[in-house]
A and B are shown apart, each in its own frame.
Chain A
Amino acid sequence: MSILFLDFMLRALLAAFLTGLAAPAVGTYLVQRRLALLGDGIGHVAVTGVAIGLLTGASPTLTAIVVAIIGGVLIELIRQQGRSSGDVALALLFYGGIAGGILVTGLAGVGAAGLQAFLFGSIATISWADVWVTVGLVAIVVVLALGLAPQLFAVAQDEEFARVAGLNTRLYNIVVSVLAAVTVTVAMRTVGLLLVSALMIIPVATAQQLTRSFRATLVSAMGLGTVAAVGGLVVSALAPAQVNVAPGATIVLVSLAGFVLAWPVGVWTRRRRRLATPFVDPVLPPNEGDPHLDGRHTVVPESHEHHHGADCGHQAVPHGDHVDYVHEGHRHAAHGSHYDEH
């Protein structure tokens, strides 16, 4: 256990915690806009940024953040312009980003090994300067993602409504893209560019198995993200010394394990909610009158010994002015002396 208290481990834990906090905060908006793969796209573009850093001798983090922001804004502008061809344009950018990265790294004479630290993460080599940069960037991301939550939520939820509410939807969409780019660069050192998006998306996917509101999803995804990032790092640190367990991989796998645990619970609660959805009578032209005479309503022919009630264990579902009970494919309600099939 003593490894956990080494200085480098402390830095790594701090970096993992911050990454786990920021990534799902942005990821929630990406999932809401059904752009779950945007983080991957920006990650690919950031490879070129890292390569430019390696070539020019500038800080790869700095060049990566600049190129990732340019890429993120470009992706958003392409999305706003094109309608159906948007995903193809995005794909072109992804491929361009990673191909450019490989080419430029070759020019820099570093070879693929130089890129590896960024592709798969190198959390153990993080310096205190890196940690402070991470603290600053994560603070910006979290403040914007939470502070602008009502606006970002509205824009992602219904862009046309948001525009008519006077929100600058184009600006807010670009804000999300820039936040995603910053997050990708922050997480680059922790989980690596190839797995960045996992930490943005999986905690959100896990959280929404169990949540009903946006706020709860956002907050619990951030909680799950930190648990996965710190937990995954600890798992990799405690692995036997003779095997090389990459922290990026364990972080993502711990996160996925959380999803695997939450998913059956989500399936079960969704099923329960669907069963409890009130029955609504179909729209009938007004002259057809009472919806109860629509022909689908028949008296239950069997004698019904059992009396349905609030605690009889059968699914009770509101239906108009009464309650139906569902069991064994029936759906019926007490009507005077008998049960009516609905």
Chain B
Amino acid sequence: MPVNDPTTVVQVRDGAVSLGGRPVLRRIDLSIAPGEVLAVLGANGSGKSTLVRAITGLAPLSHGEVLLFDTPVSRFRDWKRVGFVPQRATAASGVPASVWEVVAAGRLSHRAPFRPMRAGDRAAVAAAIAAVGLTDRSREGVSTLSGGQQQRVLIARAIAGEPDLLILDEPTAGIDRQSQESLAETLRLATTRGVTIVLVTHELGPLAGLIGRTVVMRDGQVTYDGPPTSTDHADLDPGHHHHLPGAGADYAPVVTAPIGGAGRPMGGRHLR
């Protein structure tokens, strides 16, 4: 990727972020070209989430600048080009909301207030729900879905806006394998349309095949920037803990049958 490419999707120049006076991101120089699929890796607390928050303008820079599509993020208005999947354990809130309603929020960057949805908006919402495989659940309340399915709803919401840049913060944290594979497939489809992807994770899993470039963060700085290597995981702090807040709630509770148990005779029948 040529560094002097005049058209970059994301550019961070000597970026720094302080939270309450404490530097959490330092000397970040990052340039992401159209169509790149980039994974930001690092242990918890390494600053990888803060990096995407700086890129999306959620965390203001204390130094340096962030450009989105060659526009400083503070003056950037073309938000329909950006799809964001924030780090959340759930897609639910205090009032029931259907899958369709949550995903439809992804079209708001295309809509003015007091304007009803157009046919194009509805088609994009339906396509996004189909892309994550939840078409048959679209009228159901999000709170009734499993954690992995809720994560897929949040991803559908981001792609419903048909963005050129998709930013995902820990989309695979604590989700089941079926949802991880569904996510990988959704992202693969997006890359074929030339979408630039920035993915924060501490575990690539089924997504590994998609990634063209990795950035490894440690202590608020970039310690590696280049093609994925087999040492990506070795670079993580071995003491990091996995974000599995929903690990218990993610799956239906295991039904323990009173007659189950290893010690019982199985009558010679095979374990499938």
Instruction: Give residues in A with beta carbon < 8 Å to B.
Output: 28, 31-34, 36, 147-148, 150-151, 153-154, 156-158, 160-167, 204, 208, 211-217, 273-274, 277-284, 291-293, 296-299, 301-302, 317, 320, 326, 329-331, 335, 338, 340-342
Contact = CB atoms under 8 A, between A and B. Distances in A.
B114 A147 contact: yes
A212 B140 CA distance: 6
B257 A158 contact: no
Nearest to B255: A331
Given A301-B267, A302-B259, A329-B257, A34 B272 contact: no
Contact of B95 (A28, A282, A296): A28
A31 B92 CA distance: 12
A167 B56 contact: no
Given A211-B96, A212-B140, A213-B101, A329 B255 contact: yes
B139 A212 contact: yes
A295 to B, nearest CB: 8
Contacts of B119: none
B96 A335 contact: no
B266 interface: yes
Nearest to A279: B252
Given A208-B95, A280-B146, A166 B264 contact: no
B176 A158 contact: no
Given A208-B95, A273-B144, A279-B251, A157 B178 contact: no
Given A34-B94, A297-B271, A165 B108 contact: yes
21 contacts: A32-B93, A33-B94, A36-B94, A148-B114, A151-B113, A156-B94, A157-B102, A160-B86, A164-B56, A165-B105, A166-B80, A166-B108, A208-B95, A212-B141, A280-B148, A280-B252, A281-B176, A281-B178, A282-B251, A283-B177, A335-B272
Contacts of A326: 255
Nearest to B145: A277
A292 B148 CA distance: 19
B93 A160 contact: no
Given A208-B95, A213-B98, A163 B57 contact: yes
A208 B98 CA distance: 12
B219 interface: no
A161 B258 contact: no
**Chain A facing B: main interface SS:** mixed
A296 B260 CA distance: 9
B159 to A, nearest CB: 13
A255 to B, nearest CB: 17
Nearest to B259: A301
Nearest to A277: B252
A208 B95 CA distance: 7
Given A161-B157, A212-B140, A32 B95 contact: yes
Contact of B177 (A284, A299, A329): A284
Nearest to B206: A286
Contacts of B265: 301
Interface residues of B, number: 62
A217 B95 CA distance: 8
Contacts of B251: 279-282
Given A165-B108, A214-B97, A277 B144 contact: yes
A292 B56 CA distance: 41
Contacts of A273: 144
Contacts of B98: 212-214
Given A153-B101, A165-B79, 7 more contacts: A165-B105, A273-B144, A293-B272, A298-B266, A299-B272, A301-B266, A338-B269
Nearest to B84: A164
A280 B176 contact: yes
A302 B98 CA distance: 41
Interface in B25-58: 56-58
A162 B180 contact: no
B116 to A, nearest CB: 9
Given A279-B251, A299-B271, A164 B79 contact: yes
Nearest to B88: A158
Contacts of A214: 95-98, 101
B51 to A, nearest CB: 14
Contact of A280 (B102, B250, B256, B259): B250
